[in-house]
Amino acid sequence: MHNDLRNQWIWGFTCGAENWNGRLAMMAFAIIFLFELFLSRTILSILSI
């Protein structure tokens, strides 16, 4: 796939969609990690699961 289409939002399993999925997953992981680090509690205990 061309480099200029890498960040475009195209529906389906495309390189751009996989890039966005990876970016969002990394952001979610970092946010949850920091959340647990600063509150000294796990997400599951906060949600009472």
**Model confidence at 23, in pLDDT bands (50, 70, 90)?**
very high
Judge whether 39 and 30 are in contact, CB under 8 Å.
Answer: no
DSSP 5: G
Instruction: Name, in order, each residue with C-beta under 8 angstroms of 43's C-beta and a sequence gap of 6 or more.
Output: 32, 35, 36
Judge whether 9 and 20 are in contact, CB under 8 Å.
Answer: yes
**Model confidence at 4, in pLDDT bands (50, 70, 90)?**
low
Say how many C-beta atoms besides its own lie within 10 A of residue 14's C-beta: 15
Q: Any idea where the domains of the chain sit in the sequence?
A: 13-46
The pTM (predicted TM-score) of the whole model is 0.65
